Amino acid sequence: VAEGGEVTYKKIQSKQIMGSIQLGIQHTVGSLASKPKRDLLMNDFWEMETIAFPPEGSSLTPAHHYSDFRFKVYAPIAFRYFRDLFNIEPDDFLMSMVASPMRELSNPGASGSIFYLTDDDEFIIKTVQKKECEFLQKLLPGYYMNLSQNPRTLLPKFFGLYCFHYNSKNVRLVAMNNLLPSDIKMHSKYDLKGSTFRRKASKAERQKASPTFKDLDFAEHHPDGIFLEADTYTALMNTIKRDCMVLESFQIMDYSLLVGIHNLDIAAKEKREERIRNARAKLQRKEGSAAAAPLATVNDDDAPEADQVNQLHAVASYASIPGTSAAGLNRTRSMNRQRLVAHSTAMESITADLDATIEEGDDEPKGGIPARSSNDERLLLYIGIIDILQSYRLEKKLEHTFKSILYNGDTVSVCRPSFYAKRFQDAMGKQVFKKTPTFPLKHSPSKR
Ligand code: ATP
Ligand code: CA
Ligand code: CA
């Protein structure tokens, strides 16, 4: 909700939420470092911890210039275990989360959630409703079970669940993986549910620079679907099938497959055009008089505000994070990027093959799933299942313990999630993705 140009959530300035949660995450990751690693116990899933952050600071927390707030961390040990499973080192997590101000994303969803993206592009923090937060807590043991049995999954990777408490208001937040790295240009992106009812991007959404389209838009843009090699197709469909089975077992509905499409052919054309533009500009500069020199002024449009920079320094020095100098930070970031990407690419999510991305060209983006459009353009797909915290069971306000999610005799409530899962799989496997025919697309025998 925008008020007088300021983005607010529950009437709290978004900047305050962002700064405060950075302090909170800083504290919790820091204090976890003193607790030795150990096996996960059942009660780790229900555990929570609340820390007070008075502006003047305390023996445990630094002074800050936000308002007085409290920060609750859900299941700290369990999430540490998950982060470890996803190969995210505590230092890297801390660095991504607190070393730089986060960017706020404009949310195409209807729920009014705010999304923050960490500066290094690795993580997304989403505000969630109370019932979604409660549901994720209940889901954790099952989520853990699924991860241990099935590490190849398109389900969201959850890295933390928090509640920011200020002025008797609660803002609940979940940290998860960012599916669409912003250094790879998405030529289009779709939020697909397999339903057609009102599944068209709004006018306002379509006018954005990078809109998120929906099912009906996809059918219009790709009436023949998107083609995958047989092995890739099978791997993707098997992954979706297993994931849907898990979602159905928790009576989860309304999730989507987020599909970002990088078009390699368009990207190559864009690159050529840019080179020509640059060459022209250079020529013009040479031909022009020496007065053209001011062209080289520094563009600091995206420099963070002084206030944020100060806060950042305060945070960095408090934690004494190594390498927060500009050079050090950049080095660490690119190292992290390589390492994290290696564990979270779309291609890796569907195949157990660690070398899956090796065939790609040198300067081509990494980690996408290779595909073709029906007119034979080369595509890379970045995909994942999102928005899985809506359970039919909770909507019906039935008793919602972990046990009752699993063992309920209510057949009506099982029916809708199972219908949703089936329709979702059918749409992805039959309309959205297709197996590349074994004969060449453009010269099929029938067209001779
Ligand atoms: P609603 O409940 O109205 O559908 P929401 O507020 O719950 O919306 P989501 O459905 O989770 O929001 O996400 C909305 C949009 O945000 C997605 O369509 C996608 O564009 C973007 N998004 C969500 N999660 C991710 C992610 N993990 N990585 C990249 N983009 C994401
Ligand atoms: Ca959604
Ligand atoms: Ca939602």
pLDDT in tens, 425-434: 999 999 999 9
Instruction: Give the alpha-carbon dihedral of 37, 40, 44, 49, to 10 degrees.
Output: 20
Inter-residue long-range contacts of 410-415, CB under 8 Å, 24+ positions, other chains counted = 413/251, 414/251
pLDDT score, position 133? 94
End-to-end CA distance of the chain: 58
Among the ranges given (128-142, 213-227, 335-349), the one the predictor scored with the smallest mean pLDDT:
335-349
Q: What mean pLDDT is predicted for residues 346-365?
A: 62
Contact 171, 263 (CB under 8 A): no
Q: 127 is written with which tokens?
A: 């505000």
Residue 300 pLDDT grade (very low, low, confident, very high; cuts 50, 70, 90): very low
pLDDT score, position 227? 96
Res 445 pLDDT > 80: no
Q: Which atom of ligand 1 is nearest to the CA of 256?
A: 10
Residue 312 pLDDT grade (very low, low, confident, very high; cuts 50, 70, 90): very low
- Chain segment 235-279, per-residue pLDDT in tens: 999 999 999 999 999 999 999 999 999 999 999 999 999 999 999
How far apart are the C-alpha atoms of 386 and 319, rounded to whole Å?
33
How far is the centre of ligand 3, averaged over its atoms, from the C-alpha of 390 (Å)? 7
Q: Which atom of ligand 1 is nearest to the CA of 180?
A: 29
How far apart are the C-alpha atoms of 123 and 182, rounded to whole Å?
12
Q: 319 is written with which tokens?
A: 């934690």
Residue 9 pLDDT grade (very low, low, confident, very high; cuts 50, 70, 90): confident
How far apart are the C-alpha atoms of 257 and 270, rounded to whole Å?
28
Residue 440 pLDDT grade (very low, low, confident, very high; cuts 50, 70, 90): low
Residue 192 pLDDT grade (very low, low, confident, very high; cuts 50, 70, 90): very high
What are the angstrom distances between the C-alpha of 294 and each of 215, 234, 281, 391?
Answer: 48, 56, 14, 58
How far is the centre of ligand 2, averaged over its atoms, from the C-alpha of 40 (Å)? 31
Residue 47 pLDDT grade (very low, low, confident, very high; cuts 50, 70, 90): very high
Concatenating the DSSP letter of every residue in 34-64 gives: TSPP----GGGGT-EEEEEE-TT--SSS---
Rounded to 5 degrees, what angle do the CA atoms 122, 126, 130 make?
150
Which overall architecture, per CATH, does domain 2-177 show? 2-Layer Sandwich (3.30)
CATH number of 188-267+351-447: 3.30.810.10
Residue 404 pLDDT grade (very low, low, confident, very high; cuts 50, 70, 90): low
Contact 157, 133 (CB under 8 A): no
Q: Whose CA is nearest to atom 5 of ligand 1?
A: 109
Q: Which atom of ligand 1 is nearest to the CA of 112?
A: 6
How far apart are the C-alpha atoms of 119 and 380, rounded to whole Å?
23
How far apart are the C-alpha atoms of 334 and 205, rounded to whole Å?
32
- Chain segment 360-388, per-residue pLDDT in tens: 455 677 789 999 999 999 999 999 999 99
Ligand 1 interacting residues, C-beta cut-off 6 A: 107-111, 113, 115, 124, 176-180, 191, 212, 256, 258, 386-387
Percent of the chain with pLDDT over 90: 48
* Mean pLDDT estimate for the chain: 81
Q: Tell me, what amino acid is at 154?
A: L
Q: Which residue has the higher pLDDT, 247 or 444?
A: 247
How far apart are the C-alpha atoms of 296 and 76, rounded to whole Å?
49
Contact 76, 32 (CB under 8 A): yes
Among the ranges given (20-24, 117-121, 271-275, 311-315), the one the predictor scored with the smallest mean pLDDT:
311-315
Contacts (Cβ under 8 Å, ≥6 apart) of 99:
119, 312, 315, 316, 321, 324, 329
How far is the centre of ligand 1, averaged over its atoms, from the C-alpha of 99 (Å)? 24
Which residues lie at CB < 5 A from ion ligand 2?
387
Mutation to probe ligand 1, out of 103, 106, 107 (largest number of atoms < 8 A from CB) = 107
Q: What share of the chain is helix, strand, coil (3-state, %, to 5)?
A: 45, 20, 35
Q: Whose CA is nearest to atom 18 of ligand 1?
A: 191
Contact 371, 227 (CB under 8 A): yes
Query: Would strands 69-74 and 48-53 be described as parallel, antiparallel, or unpaired?
Result: antiparallel
pLDDT score, position 362? 58
How far apart are the C-alpha atoms of 126 and 68, rounded to whole Å?
22
Write out the residue limits of the CATH 3.30.800.10 domain(s) in the chain: 2-177
Backbone angles phi, psi at 199, to 5 degrees: -95, 65
Ligand closest to CA 389: 3
Indicate if ipTM > 0.90: yes
How far is the centre of ligand 2, averaged over its atoms, from the C-alpha of 386 (Å)? 7
Instruction: Give the alpha-carbon dihedral of 143, 145, 147, 150, to 10 degrees.
Output: -130
Which residues lie at CB < 5 A from ion ligand 3?
111, 387
Q: What mean pLDDT is predicted for residues 63-77?
A: 92
pLDDT score, position 329? 44
How far is the centre of ligand 3, averaged over its atoms, from the C-alpha of 366 (Å)? 29
Q: Tell me, what amino acid is at 123?
A: F
Res 136 pLDDT > 80: yes
What are the angstrom distances between the C-alpha of 306 and each of 41, 74, 118, 313, 406?
Answer: 44, 32, 18, 11, 51
Backbone angles phi, psi at 139, to 5 degrees: -75, -25
Q: What is the pTM of this model?
A: 0.81
Residue count of the chain, please give it: 448
How far apart are the C-alpha atoms of 389 and 405, rounded to whole Å?
13
Among the ranges given (71-80, 153-162, 213-222, 355-364), the one the predictor scored with the smallest mean pLDDT:
355-364
166 CB neighbour count, 10 Å cutoff: 19
pLDDT score, position 289? 57
Q: Tell me, what amino acid is at 94?
A: L
Q: 274 is written with which tokens?
A: 């840019």
Q: 57 is written with which tokens?
A: 């600071």
Res 301 pLDDT > 50: no
Res 183 pLDDT > 50: yes
Residue 395 pLDDT grade (very low, low, confident, very high; cuts 50, 70, 90): low
Q: Whose CA is nearest to atom 23 of ligand 1?
A: 386
Contact 277, 394 (CB under 8 A): no
Residue 340 pLDDT grade (very low, low, confident, very high; cuts 50, 70, 90): very low
- Chain segment 25-43, per-residue pLDDT in tens: 999 998 998 888 888 999 9
Write out the residue limits of the CATH 3.30.810.10 domain(s) in the chain: 188-267+351-447
Q: What mean pLDDT is predicted for residues 52-80?
A: 92
Residue 137 pLDDT grade (very low, low, confident, very high; cuts 50, 70, 90): very high
Res 130 pLDDT > 80: yes
Q: What mean pLDDT is predicted for residues 213-232?
A: 95
| Residue pointed to by tokens 């590349």 | 436
Helix (H) or strand (E) holding 346: helix 346-350
